[in-house]
Amino acid sequence: MVNAITQDNRETFPIANAGQVDFTVSFAFQQEEDLEFSKWVNEAYVPLILNVDYTVTGGYGAAGGLHLTTPAEAGQKYRIKGLAELDINIQVTGQRRDPEIINSLFERCLIWATEQGREVARVLGPFKDLLEQALPAAQAASDQANAAIAATTQIKDDAIAATGQILTEAQTAKDQAVAAKDQAESARNAAQAATPISASDKGRELVGKETASEMRTVLGAASTVELSTKADASHNHAIGDMTGVNTAFDLAQGLFGGKGPSDLGGAKPIGFKIFTSSTQATLTVGTKYILVLAIGGGGGSASYNGVVGNGGPGATTLGFSLTPDPELSVTVGGGGSSGWNSSSAGGSSSAGTVVAGGGGRGTTNGVSAYSGGRGSAQGGMDIGLSHPSYGNPKGSGVVCIWEFG
């Protein structure tokens, strides 16, 4: 499968000609819901409604197009924005998995990470002086995100390679078992057909055996248990190679309560989990600490007399916990509801002591609009990302957990 991910900002700003209805999407996307098509109205981009205001063509790993149901006016500004959502809840472990499923999963993770990078650039762009003051912490967070992406990609590649190796060794073990069975049966038939019986002690012993297992013992052939043990050992060796993946985490001293992964004696990643709904998670055996990225649900927007108060984004809290409990409570906050002159705040997302508060609700009185505030971070630092589709009922949170041991 060709990797459809590019390093652009996955966002374009076309200006329409009179009567224009078709617009080109220059970047690849997987699903039509991964795009947001917005129209510039009253000094803000207002999202259009899919399959009502416009339709989508293409996608599934390639570029495509958008078609307006009502022709555009000359000079009207639009925005085409990639907003891939993490709608999976799967654990990456040493178990055997289909390579196509694994590749599709990690492509979507990388698309999401690329679009989050675009949102970071938009938020931090107007604050150059503040960025220069906060450069050490921002650089550390960027290095951490890049290392996490590299580790995730490496785990994917190792998983695909290990799957192929396991299948090959399992087939070899099966072939050896069949050969041993054929060898034993041939020896028994030869011994029974011999007239008179050979003077060989092994031949006399073989004639009296009835089962394949008994004949293997006489002939010294490998037993089914031995072959199974060999296959398991090969599988464990292949999975063990995957845990050798290392990352370049090196957080500045003082972040996250004065401890960083570089203080933990060379621990390596042994698992990665993504949650889009609340659950009681079981950590991988041997986990010494976890790195958590929690994103709170976006606040809902309110609209009255054409004036829209946007919901606030949920916090994006990055932090980690030493010697976590094997059973970890994971909470994923839902997106706030939107409506005519009514809305609600987004829910908080958390794992252990790392908490990302939900975004505040937007309000309006029909004349002025008031945007909701950003959620608060606890147990880590808010790295300043913006959750895709915040202020929309679909803007629920997400929790990502990297396990190290």
Backbone angles phi, psi at 22, to 5 degrees: -110, 135
Higher pLDDT, 247 or 35: 35
User: What percentage of the chain carries pLDDT values higher than 90?
Assistant: 20
Distance of alpha carbon 212 from the chain centroid? 48
Eight-state DSSP code of residue 324: -
Tens of pLDDT, residues 8-37 = 568 899 999 999 999 999 887 878 888 999
Q: Helix H segments across 197-333?
A: 201-207, 212-219, 224-242
Q: What is the mean pLDDT of residues 219-231?
A: 47
Cis peptide before 47 (omega within 30 of 0): no
Look at residue 85 and tell me whether its pLDDT is greater than 60: yes
Compute how many other C-beta atoms are within 10 angstroms of the C-beta atom of residue 13: 12
Type of residue found at 133: Q
The span from the CA of 261 to the CA of 250, in Å, is 6
Eight-state DSSP code of residue 34: G
Among the residue ranges 82-91, 319-328, 353-362, the one predicted with the least confidence is 82-91
Any residues with CB less than 8 A from the CB of 10 and at least 6 apart, and which? Answer: 27, 81, 82, 114, 115, 118
In 3D, which of 316, 318, 315 has the Cα closest to residue 372?
A: 315
Helix (H) or strand (E) holding 352: none
The span from the CA of 33 to the CA of 367, in Å, is 32
> Residue 227 — pLDDT band, cuts 50, 70, 90?
very low
Q: What is the mean pLDDT of residues 371-380?
A: 88
Residue identified by tokens 């004949």 is 215
Round the average pLDDT of the chain to a whole number and report it.
75
Can you list the positions of beta strands (E) in 61-208?
A: 62-68, 78-82, 91-92
Residue identified by tokens 């799967």 is 90
Using DSSP's 3-state secondary structure scheme, residue 118 falls into: helix
Q: What is the mean pLDDT of residues 87-115?
A: 62
Eight-state DSSP code of residue 345: P
The span from the CA of 79 to the CA of 316, in Å, is 25
Residue identified by tokens 């790993």 is 61
Paired residues of 242 in beta bridges? none
Kind of pairing, strands 363-364 and 354-356? unpaired
Tens of pLDDT, residues 329-375 = 999 998 888 877 778 889 999 998 899 999 888 888 878 888 888 88
Tens of pLDDT, residues 261-304 = 454 556 788 889 999 899 999 999 888 888 899 999 888 888 88
Pair 318, 281: CB distance under 8 Å: no
Higher pLDDT, 211 or 155: 155
Using DSSP's 3-state secondary structure scheme, residue 154 falls into: helix
Q: Identify the top-confidence range among 30-44, 52-66, 180-194.
A: 30-44
